[in-house]
Amino acid sequence: MLENLGVINLWTYVIGVIFITLIPGPNSIFVLTSSAKHGVKEGYKASLGVFLGDATLIFLAYVGVASLVRTSPMFFSVIKYAGAAYLFYLGSRILYSSLIEKGRKTAEEIKVAKDHTFRKALLLSLTNPKTIIFYVSFFVQFVSPDYPNTAVPFFILGSILEAFSMLYLSVLIFSGATLASMLRQRYGLARLSNGCIGTLFLAFGLKLAMTSS
C-alpha cells in the first residue's frame, strides 16, 4: 500500500505515529493549557502554531538541515538553549500568574495573552533541534531507497503525522475546555493545576538543556 509512491511498511509507520503522538510533550501540554485558560478557539490557535511548526521542521529535515544540526555542535547548542530558555520562560510565567499574582487579570491583559497564543505555540514547536533529527531518522525507515523523488514519500509521511497530531490535539482542546469549566468554581484546585503545568514546562526545559546532540 503506497509502495508505488515510495512509502514502505505503512501500517508499521502508522502504529509508530500513534505512539509518538500520544507521548506527552511541551506542545501538547501548551495546547491543553491554552484551551483550558481561554477556550476552544485559543486551543485551535495553539494547535495551528504547533501544526505549522512541525510542518516547517519536517521540511527542514527533508532539505538536509538535520545534517547541519547533527554535525554542528554550536548550531545545535544555540537552538537547544534557546528552546530551553523559552520553556523556562513559559513555565515561570505560568507559575507566577497562578501562585503569586493576586486578583483577576484585566480584560486587556487577557486579550494580550490570547493574541500571543499562536506565536508562542509556533516558537515552542520550532525551538527543539532534536525534533528535526528525529524526523529524518524516523521517516527514512519508511522511504523506499529505490524511489527517485523522496519529496513524495516525505510529504505523505508528514501529512499522516500531522493528521494524527491534529486529531489528538483536538481531543486535548475539548478536554481542556471541559476541565476549565470543572475547575472554574474551584479556585484552589485550579491554582494547583496551573502550578503543576508550570512545573512541567520547567522540567521540559531542563530536559532539553541537558540533552546532547
Report pLDDT digits (tens) over 164-188: 999 999 998 988 777 666 655 555 5
Length of the chain: 213
CA 194 to chain centre: 18
Does pLDDT of 129 surpass 80? no
- Residue 148 is predicted with a pLDDT of 83
Task: Give pLDDT, residue 63.
Answer: 80
3-class DSSP state for residue 139?
Answer: helix
Share of the chain above pLDDT 90, in %: 11
Q: Is 122 exposed, middle or buried (0-12, 13-18, 19+ CB in 10 A)?
A: buried
**Per-residue model confidence as pLDDT tens digits over 17-68:** 888 888 778 888 888 888 888 888 889 999 999 999 989 888 887 887 656 6
| Mean pLDDT (the chain, rounded) | 77
Q: What are phi and psi of 72, to 5 degrees?
A: -115, 100
Report how far apart, in Å, the C-alpha atoms of 12 and of each of 9, 15, 134, 139, 162 are. Answer: 5, 5, 17, 12, 16
Distance (Å, whole) CA 93 – CA 98: 8
pLDDT value at 110 more than 60: no
pLDDT of residue 48: 94
What is the pLDDT confidence band of residue 162, given thresholds at 50, 70 and 90?
A: very high
Amino acid at 117: T
Share of the chain above pLDDT 70, in %: 75
Q: What is the mean pLDDT of residues 8-12?
A: 89
If DSSP codes are grouped into helix, strand and coil, which group holds residue 7? strand
pLDDT of residue 50: 92
Query: Measured between alpha carbons, how far is 83 from 106 in angstroms, rounded to an integer?
Result: 29
Strand partners, 7: 143
Exposure string for 66-81, b = 16+ CB within 10 A, e = fewer: beebbeeeeebeebbe
Amino acid letter at 159? S
What does the block give as the cell for 204?
Answer: 521540559
